[in-house]
Every structure is written in C-alpha cells, then in structure tokens.
Amino acid sequence: MSLKNENMIKLAVMFVAALSLSACGSLPVTSDGSMVTRRGPVDKFPIQVADEKEEITLVIAPHVFALSQADKNRVAMLAESYKHVGHGDIWVVAPTGSANSASSIGAAAEIAKVMVDQGIRPTSIKMNSYLAAETDESAPVTVLFRRYHAFTSDCGLWNRNIAFTPTNQSSPNLGCTTQSNLAALVEDPRDLIEPTRMDPADPARRATVFENYRAGAVTTSERSDQESGVVTDIGSE
C-alpha cells in the first residue's frame, strides 16, 4: 500500500470518528429537521408560590375568662411564626351572640396581650367578630394571618427506562428533588416574588460616624481583644 493511500485511510477513519463524537454531543433533531431544546430542572420543575392562611382556633367555655397555659403556648407559637413568615395584619376573630361570647371576647383581649409580649406590634393586631348561634357554647375564637407557600410539581415520573438514552435526553425526574428541597428550605417564600424590604437606617449611628469623619477620628466601631483574630501559639513548641 502506498503512503498516499495509507494517509487517505487515516483521514477517513478520523473523519468517521469525528462524526461519531459529534453525534454523541449533538442535540436530537425532530422530523422537520429542527433541534430539540433541552429543558433544565428549573424549567421542568419551576418553584411556584401561593398565599395561604395560617390559623389556630381556641374554644373558650362560658364563665371562663382566662386562657389556659396550653392556649397561651399555642398563641405564642403562632406569634413566632408570624414574625418570620407573616404578611399583613394578624386577626383575632371572636364570636358574638353565643353563650360563650362574653368569655370569648375577654379571651381575645388576652390573646392580643400574649402576642404583644411576643414582640408583635399592637398596630398589626386586628380584632373582628362573627355572629354565632345563641345556644352555641363552643363557638371558637380564630387567630389567623396570611403567609406564602412554595412548592413544585410532584415527582415520580417513572414511565421510561433511564438507562436507555439514545438521544442524550435527561430522565423525567432529573432535578425534581433538588427543586422541591429548595422550595422547602426558603423560610419566607415571599422572597421568591419580590425582595425583602430593607430596615430603616439608623440616623443616630449615621450622625456619629459623620462627626468622627469630620473630626478626622476613626469611624469604625471599637474592637475588643476577643475580636483581634490573633492565632494562639499553644502547642507550637
């Protein structure tokens, strides 16, 4: 075989190998010749956000004008949840016209006090009422607020053999668990809709920094020895 023919065979082999590698890495093509666009986990399993109510109900018996410790604990836990993920006002809705309306209205005032003790601003607590049956001795007091819930579509698409991938397509479930976990990890899903508002600036601290700057003094806060960052030499010998 001549050197020229040998070189031609080598080039042909290299060309076929290049075509094979290109086919492995290329996108699949539909019957009309257009490329199939790959969809990533974010596209296939988008995180959705919906608002919902978080609430508790307390039944105050007639002639009982104080919350039990268990009821106080439930109100305190709801108040803590409101501070982290609540939006809008928190409502206390008590019955009127029922046999336990007097005790329920008294309990509503105590509920508001418990929430204020937990750090809820009084202006965020709203009172309301509803008409209950006159003979009803168990008309509940409802405490509720609005929050947001993040979720994705359900995982579990097992309708295809994930080992058979002639077109290099990802499995139907790829990324579903990651997206679901991310939705569950977000403390306040409202942040996925719009950014959290910044806290107001501290004008007193700002004035102090400006005064130090004008006087040529150090504007940073003083650091203690515990913040020095010096590496200990214990065990160096």
Contact criterion met (CB below 8 Å) for 171 and 160: yes
User: Residue 230's pLDDT is what?
Assistant: 61
Does residue 1 surpass a pLDDT of 60?
Answer: no
- Taking only the tens place, the pLDDT of each residue in 165-221 is 788 877 778 888 888 898 888 888 888 888 777 778 888 888 888 888 888 888 877
Instruction: Tell me, yes or no, whether 18 lies in a domain.
Output: no
Count of beta carbons in the 10 Å neighbourhood of residue 170: 14
Q: Is residue 133 part of a domain?
A: yes
Average pLDDT, the chain: 81
**Predicted TM-score (pTM) above 0.85:** no
Q: Is residue 221 part of a domain?
A: no
Query: What is the per-residue pLDDT for 129?
Result: 95
* Residue 55 counted as domain residue: yes
* CATH for 103: 3.30.1330.60
Identify the pLDDT of residue 191.
86
User: What is the per-residue pLDDT for 123?
Assistant: 95
φ, ψ for residue 192, nearest 5 deg: -80, -15
pLDDT-based confidence at residue 119 (cuts at 50, 70, 90):
very high
Q: Could you read off the pLDDT of 97-115 as tens digits, one per residue? A: 999 999 999 999 999 999 9
Q: Which of 60-69, 108-117, 121-130 has the lowest mean pLDDT?
A: 60-69
Assigned domain for 31 exists? no
Domain count, the chain: 1
Tell me the C-alpha to C-alpha distance, in Å, between residue 143 and each of 52, 68, 90: 14, 16, 7
Instruction: Give dist(CA 62, CA 58) in Å, integer.
Output: 13
Find where tokens 């046999």 sit: 99
Domain enclosing residue 113, as ranges: 48-151
Does 69 reside within a domain?
Answer: yes
Domain annotation covers residue 204: no
Return the pLDDT at 148.
92
Note whether residue 185 is domain-resident.
no
Nearest to 183 by CA among 153, 156, 157: 153
